[in-house]
Amino acid sequence: MYTIKGKTTEWELVIGLEVHCQIISKSKVFSGASTAFGAEQNTHVSFIDAAFPGMLPVVNEKCIEQCVKTGMGLNAVINKYSRFDRKNYFYADLPQGYQISQLYHPIVGEGFIEVTTSEGTRKIGVERLHLEQDAGKSIHDMSPTKSFIDLNRCGVGLMEIVSKPDMHSPEEAGEYLRQLRAIVRALGTCDGNMDEGSMRCDANISVRPVGSTELRQRVEVKNVNSVRFVMEAIEIEAHRQVELYEAGQTFSQETRLFDSVNKETRPMRSKENANDYRYFPDPDLLPVILTDEYIENIRRNLPELPEAKKKRYVSELGLTPYDAGVLTADTETSAYFETAIKGQDPKKVANWIMGDLFAFLNKTNIHISESPIKANQLGALVELITNGTISGKIAKEVFEIMTQTGKDPAVIVDEKGLKQVSDTGAIDALIHDILAANADKVAEIKAGKDKLKGWFVGQIMKASQGKVNPALANQLLEKQLDSWS
């Protein structure tokens, strides 16, 4: 159990996460404007997004479908009745003066995400998922005296996924986020890119003495943009609270920012009471009513979810839970793996993917979907090792050439003459020459210095440029040494 040992008391953490996921859809949630990322400022803005008087929002059906899918991925209740509310506040990048959200009747109710940490597997409760619109973007760093507004993002659909205060360590919160990201990616409902802001996390953090069940004053740390930073922010904020309590101080409910450079949280604003938003039902929008048929149709077409896939990799393919977790973290990786293992030993393929391939992709910053080595080619490489055509050592060399040329491994082996030598006559001759040239060392072996055999195997491998099967070389060496005189 993760705790913070203070001077007088041992403390545990209580963490809840609110995650905003940008919905994958061609157009915005209440207008027909494009959601494409990276366009010129203020070019993807309809009259609705710019809040011209008299404009009427129309809900985008695709966004509804994406919420329902995600709800199913969260093992959650899909609410057949949901409704939109206006959340009123003023900000320059919110031309309407309110955000359309769902307070009282969210489209998705309670569910859970299964999370595996070093302490085991737990279900983390999900309180709700609601559909809302994003605000525009304020740009403060283009001029020392002016701020600029880009409304391209204004009105893009968001799913806000609120967890229960069920997490008790930075690790657990990190795994929850990773798992959530894997789910939305598998479903194609959000791209999950935290660094581009399409997934944004607010963490609610409080501490309490170990053993207590109270919920103490919480602090919200806003807009943390990577899993690692969320974990760091939680740890740092929890320590800050422990120090305050132990110094006999109190603090109020507030919103803070995480400074990832100075490793501290800083006050942003004191938390407005939710009532200050003066929520009321949006008079321009009808409630969303879903039929059983609509919901079941989506359920039938749901792809395999990461958790189910992970369990299948462990039970059917014999992978460790850790390896299965890594390979199911996103759909491209699992698709790559599943193509590569056709006819191959899954464990060997997993080792190549998580070892050499990931190392190469990380180093070159290439995504697996753009890997110069295609999945079937990696499978073919493993096949060449399995059937004895090349040794594991030569395979590393072939792999290297594959990353540079994209050629099939068999072609590279042919071109470079890398085929393992299994002609025992040729190997015998090679061994004979080496033994003859090193008669002194042979004598030492005969006198009992067994360790030197390894040196001979090394010489054989070297003389054959690694093309002799090491097991075979060993066997033939022993045979010749026995009869050597």
Closer residue to Mn ion, CB minimum distance, 157 or 165? 157
Shortest Å distance, C-beta 62 to Mn ion: 20
Give the contacts of 323 (CB within 8 A, at least 6 positions apart): 313, 350, 354
Q: Which is nearer to Mn ion, 127 or 160 (CB)?
A: 160
Closest CA to 150 of 161, 163, 141, 160: 141
What would the two tokens of residue 354 be?
A: 């998580």
Q: Find out whether 208 and 216 touch, Cβ atoms under 8 Å.
A: yes
Least Å distance, CB 132 to Mn ion, is: 5
Backbone angles phi, psi at 373, to 5 degrees: -95, 115
Instruction: Compute the least distance from the CB of residue 389 to Mn ion, in Å.
Output: 57
* Residue closer to Mn ion, measured from CB, 103 or 227: 103
Gyration radius of the chain's alpha carbons: 30
CB-count exposure of residue 464 (10 Å: 0-12, 13-18, 19+)? middle
In this structure, what token pair is assigned to residue 107? 């489209």
Shortest Cβ 207–Mn ion spacing (Å): 25
Per-position x/- string for 141-170, each x denoting binding to Mn ion as judged by CB under 5 A, each - no binding: -------------------x----------
Shortest Å distance, C-beta 157 to Mn ion: 12
**Closest CB 55 distance from Mn ion, rounded Å:** 22
Question: Closest approach of Cβ 160 to Mn ion, in Å?
Answer: 4
- In the complex with Mn ion, which residue's Cβ is closer, 22 or 206? 22
Q: Closest Cα to residue 112, out of 158, 141, 71?
A: 71
Comparison of 278 and 393: residue with beta carbon closer to Mn ion: 278
Select from 379, 376, 425, 373 the least CA-distant residue to 399. Answer: 373
Closer by beta carbon to Mn ion, 247 or else 274: 274
Name the residue number minimizing CB distance to Mn ion.
Answer: 160
Site for Mn ion in 235-264 (CB under 5 A): none
User: Which residues are within 8 A (CB) of 84 and not within 5 positions of it... i.e. 6 or more apart?
Assistant: 59, 100, 101, 102, 131, 281, 282, 285
Q: CB nearer to Mn ion: give 85 or 160.
A: 160
Size of the site for Mn ion (CB under 5 A): 1
85 is an interface residue for Mn ion by CB under 5 A = no
What region, left, alpha or beta, does residue 31 occupy, with left being phi > 0 and alpha being psi -120 to 50 degrees? beta
- Tell me which residues touch Mn ion (CB under 5 A): 160
